[in-house]
Amino acid sequence: MRPPAGADKPTMDDPAAVSGTRARVRTRLGARELPIPERLLVWGLNVAVVVVVIQTIGHLVDWLATDLDIVLLNADSDQSIYPWIPVVAIFTGALALFLQNQITLVTGFRRWLPLVLAYLSLDEMVALHERLVHILKRLHIAISHAREIWPVLYLPLIAATAIALWRLARTMSPRARRFIQVGLVFLATAVVLEALSAKLVDVHPTAYQIEVILEQDLELAGWTLIGAALLAFVVGNLLRQAPDDVSA
């Protein structure tokens, strides 16, 4: 004889069911009660993880299944779908710091950070540094040397930007500070891998493809974390400023 419909389902009289329901409600409410800057950081971390997974799988499929025939999935190509993420992340950081400069007067190199990040966003989109490689090739500099030279030429700008962001991170919340610092470490590692990749292109093609995945994943995740941290930092400052403006 079959039990009545719904007899095997927990009811509100079941202590275990009630406890589980309350736990789920508390989890949802806890997520909603997070301050907006913290929610932005969580969102940024989730985006970084998702896009890294997508980029890794996409490049592996393109490499192993089509012998790099699908340009949109090739992480080593400027025409792939992946650079759009760091372009948006870097420009988000530039816009956030521009707004921050309107709130707090800053001096020195930090006042130029929005402009520098906007330039780096443009560079990520149209690959200005790759144009530098072509110029070096026209000067009869071997492509392997060109790959090693462009990070050196960019080093002063990159170093100044990294130092300014690291110092700025000291004024942020602990989680945002970690995002900036981890992101900078990721980017520095990506630059080193880019410089070393010249020795792998023709000699060790398999190792080169693995280097491409690591380098591009580090760059993508690094800029996503930095962009999310800068956005959360400025949004937090704007929210703290709002009650003062209303009371005034």
Q: How far is CA 124 from CA 20, 227, 228, in A?
A: 47, 14, 17
Find the domain containing 75 and state its range.
37-247
Max avg pLDDT among 110-119, 136-145, 202-211:
110-119
Is the pLDDT confidence value at 5 over 60? no
Residue 29 has what pLDDT? Answer: 46
Kindly report the pTM of this predicted structure: 0.79
Higher pLDDT pick, 8 / 149: 149
60 Cβ neighbours under 8 A, 6+ residues apart: 213
Residue bearing the bigger pLDDT, 5 or 229:
229
Share of the chain above pLDDT 90, in %: 54
Q: How many domains does the chain have?
A: 1
pLDDT at 25: 45
Q: Where are the beta strands (DSSP E) in 162-248?
A: none
213-236: average pLDDT = 96
205 inside domain? yes
79 in a structural domain: yes
220 token code pair: 């993508």
Is 12 inside a domain boundary?
no
Between the ranges 152-156, 169-173, 241-245, where is the mean pLDDT highest? Answer: 169-173
Residue 3 lies in a domain: no
- Is 23 within the bounds of a domain? no
In a domain, residue 128? The reply is yes
Helix, strand or coil, per DSSP, at residue 142 = coil
pLDDT range class, residue 169, cuts 50, 70, 90 = very high
Q: What is the pLDDT of residue 176?
A: 97
**Residue 116 CA to its chain's centroid (Å):** 17
Say if residue 31's pLDDT is above 80: no
Position 78 scores a pLDDT of: 82
Note whether residue 72 is domain-resident.
yes
Q: Is residue 230 part of a domain?
A: yes
pLDDT at 108: 86
pLDDT at 246: 47
pLDDT, residue 154, reads 77
Distance, in Å, from the CA atom of 224 to the CA atom of 43, rounded to the nearest integer, reads 10
Q: How do residues 55-104 score in pLDDT, each as one tens digit?
A: 999 999 999 999 999 999 999 988 899 999 999 999 999 999 999 998 88
Share of the chain above pLDDT 70, in %: 74
Over range 156-173, report the average pLDDT. 93
For residue 242, is pLDDT > 80?
no
Find the range with the poorest average confidence among 169-173, 215-219, 241-245.
241-245
Among residues 51, 112, 61, 50, the alpha carbon closest in space to that of 87 is found at 51
- pLDDT of residue 149 exceeding 90, the answer is no
Task: Give the single-character DSSP code of 72.
Answer: G
